[in-house]
């Protein structure tokens, strides 16, 4: 089973990205999603090589946002795909059975689709407004998670759900109570001045509720 905390990277340059990812790893994150929106550039390859080495050093899981070919080239642990990205089926053919493929969902219908596609986990959100991503899908709030997870339970659908979007420390307990498996966070960890304390506090809240 995957770790309950996924860090989604930020940074406009390779250097900023490496700094932020190193900070997350050094303070206890062991699952990194490299999210670099210049994902099809030489810089993306340079960054992915650096992140691969860092994740190896810290024994962390390394997945790449959007770019399945880069994940294949770098032998990353997997990818995260949105509903408008490459299909899970095509990604599975390229990456093989053992790699992690995460998929985005915003509705119960998306969850059904992702489950049929055999995703390994679902990033369900956004929980609330965030500046990290433009063109957000409708905000779910706690009620959205309760409703979607209730419908999953009624149909006995079992797939790890990660809440995403504007999550802060204060939200984690109530989100976990809805039945999610974990959280994916970006801004919270990127912007903190005390990453060690924050990641410990997040992990305490995540582990207690499972």
Ligand X SMILES: Cc1ncsc1CCOP(=O)(O)O
Q: Is 130 in the site for ligand X (CB under 6 A)?
A: yes
Residue 134, marked binder:
no
Question: Applying CB under 6 A, which of residues 11, 28, 82, 179 lies at the interface with ligand LCLJCK34?
Answer: 82
Cβ–Cβ under 8 Å, residues 21 and 30? no
Size of the site for ligand LCLJCK34 (CB under 6 A): 16
Cβ–Cβ under 8 Å, residues 181 and 159? no
Residue 66, marked binder:
yes
Residue 133, marked binder:
yes
How many helices and strands in the chain, by DSSP H and E?
Answer: 9, 8
Residue 104, marked binder:
yes
Stretch near ligand X under the rule CB under 6 A, chosen from 20-28, 70-78, 124-132, 154-162: 124-132
| Spatial distance between the Cα atoms of 166 and 186, rounded to a whole number of angstroms | 8
Site for ligand X in 141-170 (CB under 6 A): 164-167
162 binds, among ligand X, Mg ion, ligand LCLJCK34, none (CB under 5 to 8 A by kind): ligand LCLJCK34
Burial of 35 (0-12, 13-18, 19+ CB in 10 A): buried
Question: Applying CB under 6 A, which of residues 2, 99, 133, 181 lies at the interface with ligand LCLJCK34?
Answer: 133
Q: Is 186 in the site for ligand X (CB under 6 A)?
A: yes
Residue 96, marked binder:
no
Note the Cα 82 to chain centre separation in Å: 11
C-alpha closest to that of 134 among 82, 62, 63, 69: 82
Structure tokens at 94: 């390229």
What's the DSSP call for residue 125?
A: -
| Spatial distance between the Cα atoms of 50 and 149, rounded to a whole number of angstroms | 37
Please report how close the Cβ of residue 156 comes to ligand X at its closest, in angstroms. Answer: 27
Please report how close the Cβ of residue 83 comes to Mg ion at its closest, in angstroms. Answer: 8
Interface with Mg ion (CB under 5 A): 66, 82, 85
Binding-site residues: 33-37, 65-66, 85, 104, 130-133, 166
């Amino acid at each position: 089973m995957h770790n309950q905390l996924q860090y989604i990277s930020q940074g406009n340059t390779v250097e900023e990205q490496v700094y932020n990812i190193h900070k997350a790893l050094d303070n206890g994150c062991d699952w990194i999603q490299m999210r670099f929106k210049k994902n099809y550039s030489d810089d993306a390859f340079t960054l992915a090589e650096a992140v691969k080495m860092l994740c190896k050093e810290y024994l962390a899981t390394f997945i790449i946002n959007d770019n399945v070919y880069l994940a294949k080239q770098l032998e990353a642990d997997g990818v995260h795909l949105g509903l408008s990205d490459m299909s899970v089926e095509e990604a599975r053919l390229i990456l093989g059975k053992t790699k992690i493929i995460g998929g985005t969902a915003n509705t119960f219908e998306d969850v059904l689709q992702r489950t049929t596609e055999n995703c390994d986990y679902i990033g369900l959100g956004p929980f609330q407004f965030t500046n990290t991503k433009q063109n957000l899908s409708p905000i779910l709030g706690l009620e959205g998670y309760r409703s979607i997870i209730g419908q999953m339970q009624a149909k006995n659908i079992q797939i790890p759900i990660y809440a995403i979007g504007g999550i802060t420390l204060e939200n984690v307990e109530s989100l976990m109570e809805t039945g999610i498996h974990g959280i994916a966070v970006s801004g919270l960890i990127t912007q903190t001045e005390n990453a060690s304390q924050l990641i410990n506090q997040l992990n305490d809240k995540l582990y207690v509720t499972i």
